[in-house]
Structure 1
Amino acid sequence: MPDIVTITINPAVDIFVDVERVEPIRKMRCSAPKRDPGGGGINVARVAYRLGGDVTAIYPAGGAIGKLLQKLLDREGIVSIATPSHVETRENFTAFETTSGDQFRFVLPGSTLHRAEWEACLDKLTTLQGKPSFVVASGSIPPGVPEDFFSRVIREARKLGARTVVDTSGDALKEAIAEGVDIIKPNLNELSEFTGEKLDSDAACVAACRKLIDADRVTMVALTLGGDGALLVTKDRALKAQPMKIDVVSAVGAGDSFLGGLVWALAQGQSEHDAFRVAVAAGSAAVMNPGTELCREVEVKQLLPKVKIAEISL
């Protein structure tokens, strides 16, 4: 039985290319494309597996792209439970402009899923043999899937005795928090949008997290702050990780790597403090790699001793 199960209701195959310059009208000659399995929960699974975790990924897959997605995950050694979809699995496209160092990210919407198709993913969760330690629901919600889908995942995960983790935004995040969830991992913009508050200081961020915790809606908030580091807030503690001094190559997948590292470490029985250190190292390692590469174990281990965490007293 896996320690970690991820659910990705809007998976993708991510395509990455280099191009000299992005310009209108004219043909832009690109490098050979690199293709990676993608979608929030799938990326979390990839990171947790790279760090040594026992992971299973649940997701819908359809068409030729869906078959490619399964093949790419098989190639990485990820145990996956793919449910059939009548629509083609989506693709995302990222172009790195070599002359400027800028990235251009084109995120395609998922196609509409039938009720039976998204319910099939829930059914696969409910019929798992054994009990995982964590169930992670991450990513966006495609058309046809109700905004309370992650709430339904939470309810089924509780029946398995698993801790629940959600990383999403908008109404899907609101529904998950209303249901009650163990861990959420918003970024600063997502938390600000949810609370309707301008979160312009550590104190304001911690206060916003504590409102959710004190209302018994969330147990832990892992808040990523981009270039300003990250916060980990529980009922009794607030930890701040300083941004690491590294060369940023690509920001794609940093949040998923952060969450994959956090969940893997917690599933290993590490303390909140130590798990937070792993998360920061994993998120930082991801930005050192081009395209959609995510973090690698060797880089996480190299960065881990350099992570600086301080307790915030408020």
Structure 2
Amino acid sequence: TRDVKVFSVDSLTSYEQSVYANFKDKLDETTYSRSIAFGDSVAKVILQRAGKDGYFASRGKAKYLGSNTPGKWKPTPPDYLDGVEWCWNTMKPMVMDSSSLFKPSPPPPYSLDTKSIFYKSLTEVYNINKSLTNEQKEIARYWDDNPFVIEHSGHMMFGNKKITPAGHWMGICAIASKLSGADEVKTAKAYAYTALALYEGFISCWDEKYRSSYIRPVTAVNELFDPAWLPWLQTPPFPEYTSGHSVISASSAIVLSSLFGENFAFQDTSDLKYIGMQRHFNSFNEAAAEVSVSRVYGGIHYRFTADTSAAQGKKLGSYIIAKLGN
């Protein structure tokens, strides 16, 4: 039996009321009332901006089905879903001047030349996945963070829910805040900076994903080497380059390092309740680096994608700190 977590409106309302009650017991009525009123005024401004951030305009767009052009992305197995959120680069950034501010160099040209970067990188992914060590499998599974892995059993199909990449890093932010003994102000700042690193990171990454619309390893392996091959991890339904998880992990690691230190060691238990796993890291950057290589172990990204994505995320994280301060 799986322990499924469902957050209903009632449960959120109950949690909100419990938080209010906790503060009300510690504050006089005037301070409490002013605080609630101020919070409501801030919320209204946030909701006004959210109404104009491009999200609603991006709904109802035509499906992105890729292309049969060699080297370009097309829907991937097992369910060949259309490309997810192909208009995400139209979202209004909060810190960046534009979604293309950290536009990376184009990916290597698609080539069947055995000496080309593409062919060598594809061969590397294929060979690694044929002989994964237990440690490599564990790393790939730990950072999978695919919120909707589609499972098949006979005629039955269901979505296996897990933590998201963004949720994982917000969990790490919470761990760091608690472990460091951060007060309410620093904790709020850590959450805000991490959220910005995630939000801007996905916009920056998705801007490139659907510009280059690059072929995924599973498609290339199926077409060139083995039509039945599947990677260790299920390939998410969007183009290859760059890697969302690598970008947002690198950007989050930069902002968290600026707040808690470059060598902040922690035990990551963010995924413990979901997949029963935890890992120790000597720094946020060490964790982010493991995220990048996990995508290669998982067979869902080429190494050049992982490396370029990490660099993209680091630039973004440094930009956020330079613009907002630490």
Q: From the CA coordinates, give the structure whose radius of gyration is larger.
A: 2
* TM-score of the two chains, using structure 2 as the length reference: 0.24
Higher RCO (Cα < 8 Å, 6 or more apart): 2
Identify the structure with the greater helix proportion.
Answer: 2
